[in-house]
Amino acid sequence: MFQATRVPILLAWAALAMHLPGVLRAQGAAPAAVTVVTVQPETVTLTTTLPGRVIASAVSEVRPQVAGIITERLFDEGGSVEAGEALYTIDPATYEAAVAQASASVSAAEAQLRAAERNRARAETLLSRDVGTQQTLDDAITARESAAAQLLVAKALLRSAQIELDRTTIRARLSGEIGRSLTSRGALVTTGQTEPLAVIRNIDPVFVDVTQSAAELLRWRRDRSGNGQDGQDRRVELILADGSEYEQTGTLTAAEPQVDVRTGVVVLRMEFDNPDKLLLPGMYVQVVMPTTMAEGIYLVPQEGVSRDRRGRPIVFLVTADNVVEPREINIVEDRGADWVVDAGLAPGDRVMVEGFQKAAPGTTVTPEERHESVRGDAGAEPKTTTD
């Protein structure tokens, strides 16, 4: 019997709880408290987000300049190398023999030159004593000059052989990060081969190449020229593939001076410092690039903006009479935790950011200004109207 009587009592209390807010409002209960943010017009730099790829600022493909058998690899794959550092060695025996032969040719040419000089001196002496002839002296001078020329040729051949020998030690021509070795000890390499032995890339700094339509580039340049900003504020920001922001800002360094006839886009190049080697060539990124300075712009917290049934962005304003009023706005872009709005708001408008469940359009509320220190911490979801 006790259970039978408790159920109707609980239902009665539930019904009373459901009707209690209406009863309290009818009796003049206090208006619901909501949190608002007062907006004022600002001058904001508008941006555009462009997709791009990271590329190394310099690339060096390591290739042999002489043919031979690789005898040793001298670097750690995936590590850093400095310009001039030895990377591979090629069997030098053949090139050492060529150097020895060229050195012997130099010695022979030097001997020939000394003999020619002695013959010339002898011919000069005989001519001075009226024993020899001028023709003999001329022939001696010619022989001496020919011997001197042969010595120069021999020395050049020695220098060439020495260069070939030096090239049996393959050195880095660029400081940077070296990848995996594409050859191994004992492999035969040749000059002019298409496959590199390894690749060195300088990834600090790195370049990011992005594409922008020709129409957008024209508008951007005209806006900057009209605002007196041409050549200024070329800093850009980077968004990584996981959506996080790269801590280093970059610089717009160059633009391709032509439009791709197939796609109608222009390639822009950005430069970013990469001290931690976080950016790697081939990585997909997004570049946030400034486009123009816009005046009369409002920054509205994103939690204060919702959408109606037609997908139009709206905000709920608290009027001077503390009445909730919906207002359609126009969003230009996002800026961190805010929306950039260029239409629909007036200076001093109070935008609701919390308390949507407590106040419907047309109701009276008690607004409370949100402090900047807690901006963006609101946990309430914006309300969607059924307009």
CATH number given to 92-166? 1.10.287
Q: Indicate the pTM of the whole model.
A: 0.69
- CATH 1.10.287 range(s) for the chain read 92-166
Spelled out in words, what is the top-level CATH class assigned to the domain 64-91+168-195? mainly beta
> What pLDDT is stored for residue 151 in this prediction?
96
> What pLDDT is stored for residue 131 in this prediction?
83
Measure the CA–CA gap between 256 and 6, rounded to whole angstroms: 82
Measure the CA–CA gap between 180 and 77, rounded to whole angstroms: 5
Q: Tokens standing for 381?
A: 């979801």
Which residues, other chains included, contact 34 with Cβ-Cβ below 8 Å and sequence gap of 6+? 318, 324, 352, 354, 355, 356, 358, 359, 365, 366, 367, 368
> What pLDDT is stored for residue 289 in this prediction?
83
- CATH 2.40.30.170 range(s) for the chain read 47-57+201-293
Long-range CB pairs of 321-328, under 8 A, 24+ apart, other chains included:
321/364, 322/31, 322/364, 322/365, 322/366, 322/367, 323/362, 323/363, 323/364, 323/365, 324/34, 324/352, 324/359, 324/360, 324/361, 324/362, 324/363, 324/364, 324/365, 325/361, 325/362, 326/361, 326/385, 326/387
Measure the CA–CA gap between 181 and 89, rounded to whole angstroms: 13
Question: CA end-to-end span of the chain, whole Å?
Answer: 51
Q: Closest Cα partner for 386 from 308, 313, 288, 292?
A: 308
Q: Closest Cα partner for 106 from 185, 45, 160, 70?
A: 160
Q: Could you tell me if 322 and 364 are in contact, meaning their C-beta atoms sit under 8 angstroms apart?
A: yes
For the beta carbon of residue 387, count every other beta carbon within 10 angstroms.
11
- CATH 2.40.50.100 range(s) for the chain read 64-91+168-195
Per-residue pLDDT in tens (0 to 9) along the chain, 387 residues: 434 444 343 334 334 334 444 444 444 567 888 889 999 999 888 888 889 999 999 999 999 999 999 999 999 999 999 999 999 999 999 999 999 999 999 999 999 999 999 999 999 898 888 888 889 889 999 999 999 999 999 999 999 999 999 999 999 999 999 999 999 999 999 998 999 999 999 999 999 999 888 777 777 666 666 555 544 456 889 999 898 999 999 988 888 778 888 888 888 899 999 999 999 999 999 998 887 778 889 999 999 899 888 889 999 999 999 999 999 999 988 887 889 998 999 999 999 999 888 888 888 998 889 876 555 444 444 444 444
Measure the CA–CA gap between 331 and 319, rounded to whole angstroms: 21
The residue written with tokens 């690899």 in the block is 73
Query: What H or E segment, with its residue span, contains residue 71?
Result: strand 68-73
Q: Closest Cα partner for 248 from 278, 280, 289?
A: 278
Maximum separation of any 2 CA atoms in the chain, in Å: 161
CATH number given to 47-57+201-293? 2.40.30.170
Give the alpha-carbon dihedral of 341, 345, 349, 350, to 10 degrees.
Answer: -50
